[in-house]
């Protein structure tokens, strides 16, 4: 039997359109000779990519105060920022390029639309995530972040509430939370702002992971969406390994697992996924102890 027949690499693995767009934009700026290029926060949480960008003198800074060369370009990353911070960075006189993902902008617009009608906003997500910090800036000062239904139980009654989601949230968590809030509100607007690429990735993961003996999730250990993907898989497959590169692969587990599914977070570049997949296939092609490749 072909030992690699049951190694499946996810079709939705790797850069989402928003991250790809932001990275392409900074690389274009650098190629056009716009130097130095500063990004407000790391473009993505993937060490291999941030190392590649650093080699091109594309550096992440927290605030324009940290830009040593004020003739450089400031890039707003895919996660977006608050409108107040946007005004502040525009006052520095540096060129500003907005690479906020259009799907994050869509979530910002929905929050703004209902907040301007007096709705309180509840965001289902991680309060310390850059995208959520940016989204909070659109709530007109009336926003709350909850991680799930348990935290939503503790919320007060709202006359009018708009429940939105971090774009990479798990859909079942979003709806369970929205349902909890709906029970304790007058008017409850439910705005599912999970982006389509995240929905597609979650759907494929659920379909494939439950038929796998081992799921390998490739991506940065600090990447929220990759970590969430690994957590999702833990409830579906008997073994799950989250690796940043092929060097961390568990060789024994790979050789023992008949069906392997390889997936990756939205911030993992294709070349890292390809190297992991190639190493997995190479390991499976090697004979186990006591076996031989000769016929
Ligand atoms: S995860 Fe979705 S919303 Fe976030 S950057 Fe990617 S495509 Fe845009």
pLDDT tens digits along 259-290: 999 999 888 999 999 999 999 999 998 776 65
Q: What is the pLDDT of residue 294?
A: 39
In the chain, ranges of CATH 3.40.50.11270 domains: 17-100
* Closest alpha carbon to 230 in 8, 41, 22, 13: 13
What CATH code would you report for 7-14+197-285? 3.40.1010.20
pLDDT at 236 over 60: yes
Instruction: Please tell me the distance between residue 17's alpha carbon and the centre of ligand 1 in angstroms.
Output: 7
- Report which DSSP code applies to 264: E
Burial class (CB in 10 A: 0-12, 13-18, 19+), 117: exposed
Q: Which atom of ligand 1 is nearest to the CA of 196?
A: 2
Tell me the mean pLDDT in the region 108-135: 97
Q: What is the pLDDT of residue 291?
A: 56
Q: Which atom of ligand 1 is nearest to the CA of 104?
A: 3
Catalytic position from the list 131, 246, 289, 291: 131
Instruction: Please tell me the distance between residue 169's alpha carbon and the centre of ligand 1 in angstroms.
Output: 11
Please state, in angstroms and rounded to a whole number, the distance separating the CA atoms of residues 136 and 148.
17
- Is 131 marked active-site? yes
* Closest alpha carbon to 26 in 7, 53, 65, 64: 53
Residue to probe by mutation, ligand 1, list 15, 17, 110, most atoms within 8 Å of CB: 17
User: Sorting pLDDT into bands at 50, 70 and 90, what band is 293?
Assistant: very low
Residue to probe by mutation, ligand 1, list 13, 14, 19, most atoms within 8 Å of CB: 19
Instruction: Please tell me the distance between residue 229's alpha carbon and the centre of ligand 1 in angstroms.
Output: 14
pLDDT at 3 over 60: no
Q: Between residues 290 and 89, which one has the greater pLDDT?
A: 89
CA atoms within 13 A on the CB side of 232: 27
Task: Determine if the peptide bond prior to 5 is cis (ω within 30°).
Answer: no
For atom 5 of ligand 1, the residue with the nearest CA is 18
Q: Which residues does residue 215 pair with via DSSP β-bridges, in sequence order?
A: 240, 261
CATH 3.40.50.720 given to domain 103-194? no
pLDDT at 1 over 50: no
Tell me the mean pLDDT in the region 41-63: 87
> In whole numbers, what is the pLDDT of the chain averaged over residues?
91
Instruction: Please tell me the distance between residue 47's alpha carbon and the centre of ligand 1 in angstroms.
Output: 19
Q: CB within 8 A of 31, min separation 6: which ones?
A: none
Q: What is the pLDDT of residue 295?
A: 35
Please state, in angstroms and rounded to a whole number, the distance separating the CA atoms of residues 29 and 289.
52
pLDDT at 15 over 80: yes
pLDDT at 53 over 60: yes
Q: Which atom of ligand 1 is nearest to the CA of 102?
A: 8
Please state, in angstroms and rounded to a whole number, the distance separating the CA atoms of residues 101 and 95.
19
- Which percentage of the chain shows pLDDT scores above 90? 73
In the chain, ranges of CATH 3.40.1010.20 domains: 7-14+197-285, 103-194
- List pocket residues of ligand 1, CB cut-off 6 Å: 16-19, 78, 101, 103-104, 167-168, 195, 197-198, 266
Which residue is associated with the tokens 């439950």?
210
Q: What is the per-residue DSSP string for 28-67?
A: HHHHTT--SEEEES-SSS-HHHHHHHHHTTEEEESSGGG-
Tell me the mean pLDDT in the region 113-118: 98
Please state, in angstroms and rounded to a whole number, the distance separating the CA atoms of residues 196 and 184.
29
Please state, in angstroms and rounded to a whole number, the distance separating the CA atoms of residues 157 and 206.
35
Tell me the mean pLDDT in the region 16-35: 92
What CATH code would you report for 17-100? 3.40.50.11270
End-to-end Cα distance, the chain: 13
Backbone dihedral region for residue 191 (phi beyond 0: left; psi -120 to 50: alpha; all else: beta)? beta
The 3-state DSSP class for residue 232 equals: helix
pLDDT digit string (tens) for 160-216?
999 999 998 989 999 999 999 999 999 999 999 999 999 998 899 999 999 999 999
Instruction: Please tell me the distance between residue 18's alpha carbon and the centre of ligand 1 in angstroms.
Output: 5
Q: What tokens were used for 130?
A: 């850059």
Q: CB within 8 A of 216, min separation 6: which ones?
A: 240, 241, 243, 249, 260, 261, 262, 263, 276, 280
User: Sorting pLDDT into bands at 50, 70 and 90, what band is 4?
Assistant: low
For atom 2 of ligand 1, the residue with the nearest CA is 195
For atom 7 of ligand 1, the residue with the nearest CA is 18
Tell me the mean pLDDT in the region 220-239: 89
């Amino acid at each position: 039997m072909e030992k690699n027949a049951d190694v499946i690499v996810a079709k939705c693995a790797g850069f989402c359109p928003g991250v790809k767009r932001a990275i392409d934009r900074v690389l274009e700026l650098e190629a056009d000779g716009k130097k130095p290029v500063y990004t407000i926060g790391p473009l993505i949480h993937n060490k291999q990519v941030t190392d590649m960008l650093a080699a091109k003198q594309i550096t992440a800074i927290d605030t324009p105060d940290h830009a040593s060369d004020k003739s450089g370009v400031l890039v707003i990353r895919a996660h977006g920022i608050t409108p107040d911070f946007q005004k502040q960075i525009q006052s520095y006189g540096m060129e500003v390029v907005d690479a906020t993902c259009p799907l994050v902008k869509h979530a910002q617009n929905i929050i703004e639309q209902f907040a301007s009608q007096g709705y309180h906003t509840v965001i289902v997500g991680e309060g310390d995530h850059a995208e959520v910090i940016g989204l909070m800036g659109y709530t007109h000062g009336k926003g709350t972040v909850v991680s799930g239904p348990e935290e939503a139980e503790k919320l007060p009654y709202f006359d009018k509430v708009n429940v939105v989601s971090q774009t990479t949230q798990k859909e079942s968590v979003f709806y369970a939370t929205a349902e909890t809030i709906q029970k304790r509100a007058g008017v409850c607007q439910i705005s599912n702002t999970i982006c389509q690429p995240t929905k597609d990735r979650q759907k494929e993961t659920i379909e494939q992971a439950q038929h796998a003996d081992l799921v390998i999730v490739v991506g940065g250990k600090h990447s929220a969406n990759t970590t969430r993907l690994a957590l999702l898989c833990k409830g579906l497959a008997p073994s799950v390994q989250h690796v940043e590169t092929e060097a961390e692969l568990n060789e024994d587990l790979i050789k023992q697992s008949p069906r392997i599914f390889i997936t990756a977070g939205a911030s993992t570049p294709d070349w890292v996924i390809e190297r992991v997949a190639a190493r997995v296939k190479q390991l499976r092609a090697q004979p186990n102890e006591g076996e031989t490749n000769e016929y």
